Chain A
């Protein structure tokens, strides 16, 4: 029973990441964690996450801050002796955590969601909208810390005040709606 439970979580993770099957061959060498620039701030190193996946510790893994502290630098991916696409697995864990609403600190998933909301609505990203919404929700006092930067960005003409809307927005929306439908079935 325990064994089935464990292997099913491994199945789920390895089948949802491009090239994820390689995860089964992890030799726990720790090269990934040793290469990771955010390793010290992660609750579990990537290697530990992979051991937990193998042990079927679904809750611990999906509640961990580890994937959200991954900056997708691909150091682990190029260094892993088993050619495991570690970065892709981190993305996969993020998706699973979002789907299961497992990750407690909503700040990181929220950043992705707000970013994407503009993209889905306009076809392009919108920095000012993103920073504005994110800061107000999660770090209202932090805004002061980057005030000089924000002023600089505006005075130097680096901040757009309105998002750009692509021409083929209707088509894009149909594409994304279909994609989401297919993802839900997969």
Chain B
């Protein structure tokens, strides 16, 4: 399995543990990742807000660089924003020849070219789910994540436009759930799995941004999740990095660690916490991870809801006896 790999700016530093865990896991699974030569920023959601042709030309430079690796047409990106931009650019260039003409001219000014449709652009989750597959993943598990309650969080950018080449429901995806189950984790039925983390909204309107983070963290906490598994550096930064500020904003006290799904895969394969970059998260995940292997903890973590068949009327609390 041979792939061209587009790490993206976040994975260089802020999400370095996502990059490290991706490379380590890929090597174990027999995937060869060849990094795109001299790649540039994909422009996130910012460039397209300013200049359409420049935004697509910026992305297209990456496609041109990636297509230099002629040994494969498969391009994989672990960042959801990069994935979406690369894929959207390839698609738009293929559909709109007039616009594509402009981008082609711009690329030519830098001595580059790209023919739309040359690359098959995919997110890492798609590759692990479809190419590697659940069986091969499960076969590599030496330390199952038993007892760990995980909320699978997909976020928005990856699933919405035709993820898995259209094979996954844009609002109720299941591939990450299945991968986490294959690792032995106790997967929470997380209703906000495909909701948005707010992107850069904390920088535009704090109240709006914190509200989106709050909803996601609270829902996971209400379901007694030990941690949230994510696959996007923006989601990780929002839910983990801004969790403290969000807590202060709402006067809440959530402590919900947020790890990359590749970190969990690596741990389940027996790789060390250090190798997986555990500890780089702002909301410490170690206590949550110590629950791995403790079946008792899993029992205790079941949500304490009144039993459905409890027919008793609500009663005043019993008087305390001194």
Q: Which of B187-243 contact A (CB under 8 A)?
A: 195-196, 198-201, 203-208, 212, 241-242
Quick check: A78 and B48 within 8 Å, CB to CB?
Answer: no
Quick check: A72 and B199 within 8 Å, CB to CB?
Answer: yes
Quick check: A107 and B160 within 8 Å, CB to CB?
Answer: no
Q: Which of B137-183 contact A (CB under 8 A)?
A: 156-157, 160-161, 170-171
Which of B49, B54, B160, B249 is in CB contact (< 8 Å) with A91?
A: B49
The answer to whether the Cβ of B31 comes within 8 Å of any Cβ in the partner chain is no
Quick check: A68 and B13 within 8 Å, CB to CB?
Answer: no
Q: Which residues of A contact B49 (CB under 8 A)?
A: 91, 94-95, 98, 109, 112
> In chain B, what residue has the closest Cβ to A183?
B53
The answer to whether the Cβ of B27 comes within 8 Å of any Cβ in the partner chain is no
The answer to whether the Cβ of B300 comes within 8 Å of any Cβ in the partner chain is no
Quick check: B156 and A119 within 8 Å, CB to CB?
Answer: no
Quick check: B58 and A176 within 8 Å, CB to CB?
Answer: yes
Q: Which residues of A contact B61 (CB under 8 A)?
A: 171-172, 175
Q: Which residues of B contact A127 (CB under 8 A)?
A: 13-14
- A183-B46 contact given A149-B282, A156-B282, A166-B38, CB 8 Å threshold: no
Quick check: A18 and B201 within 8 Å, CB to CB?
Answer: no
Alpha-carbon gap, A167 to B13, bound state (A): 18
Q: Mark A169-186, 1 if CB is under 8 A from B, else 0.
A: 001101111111011001
Quick check: A156 and B279 within 8 Å, CB to CB?
Answer: yes
Q: Which residues of A contact B281 (CB under 8 A)?
A: 156
> In chain A, what residue has the closest Cβ to B45?
A72
Q: Which of A83-107 contact B (CB under 8 A)?
A: 91-92, 94-95, 98, 107
The answer to whether the Cβ of A2 comes within 8 Å of any Cβ in the partner chain is no
**Could you pull out 11 A-B pairs where Cβ atoms are within 8 angstroms?**
A16-B52, A19-B95, A91-B52, A98-B50, A107-B204, A146-B245, A149-B244, A180-B54, A182-B102, A182-B105, A183-B102
> In chain B, what residue has the closest Cβ to A119?
B41
Q: Which residues of A contact B43 (CB under 8 A)?
A: 116, 119
The answer to whether the Cβ of B24 comes within 8 Å of any Cβ in the partner chain is no
The answer to whether the Cβ of B322 comes within 8 Å of any Cβ in the partner chain is no
The answer to whether the Cβ of A55 comes within 8 Å of any Cβ in the partner chain is no
- A175-B109 contact given A72-B45, A91-B49, CB 8 Å threshold: yes
Quick check: B199 and A71 within 8 Å, CB to CB?
Answer: yes
Quick check: B40 and A38 within 8 Å, CB to CB?
Answer: no
Which 9 A-B residue pairs are closest in the complex by CB-CB distance? A73-B196, A74-B160, A171-B110, A178-B109, A179-B106, A175-B110, A183-B53, A73-B156, A179-B57
The answer to whether the Cβ of B310 comes within 8 Å of any Cβ in the partner chain is no
Quick check: A183 and B105 within 8 Å, CB to CB?
Answer: no
The answer to whether the Cβ of B16 comes within 8 Å of any Cβ in the partner chain is yes
The answer to whether the Cβ of A28 comes within 8 Å of any Cβ in the partner chain is no
The answer to whether the Cβ of A140 comes within 8 Å of any Cβ in the partner chain is no
The answer to whether the Cβ of B129 comes within 8 Å of any Cβ in the partner chain is no
Interface residues of B (CB under 8 A from A): 9, 12-16, 38-41, 43-54, 56-58, 61, 92, 95-96, 99, 102-103, 105-112, 156-157, 160-161, 170-171, 195-196, 198-201, 203-208, 212, 241-242, 244-245, 248-249, 279-282
> In chain B, what residue has the closest Cβ to A158?
B14
Which of B52, B57, B171, B204 is in CB contact (< 8 Å) with A108?
A: B204
CB distance from A15 to the nearest CB of B (A): 10
Give the one of A19, A134, A168, A175 with max B CB within 10 A. Answer: A175
Q: Which residues of B contact A9 (CB under 8 A)?
A: none
The answer to whether the Cβ of A31 comes within 8 Å of any Cβ in the partner chain is no
Which of B40, B48, B52, B280 is in CB contact (< 8 Å) with A172?
A: B40
> In chain B, what residue has the closest Cβ to A115?
B46
The answer to whether the Cβ of A41 comes within 8 Å of any Cβ in the partner chain is yes
Which of B38, B47, B108, B205 is in CB contact (< 8 Å) with A119?
A: B47
Alpha-carbon gap, A106 to B222, bound state (A): 38
Alpha-carbon gap, A67 to B44, bound state (A): 16
The answer to whether the Cβ of A125 comes within 8 Å of any Cβ in the partner chain is yes
Alpha-carbon gap, A127 to B156, bound state (A): 22
Quick check: B106 and A186 within 8 Å, CB to CB?
Answer: no
- A142-B57 contact given A149-B282, A175-B107, CB 8 Å threshold: no
Quick check: B195 and A124 within 8 Å, CB to CB?
Answer: no
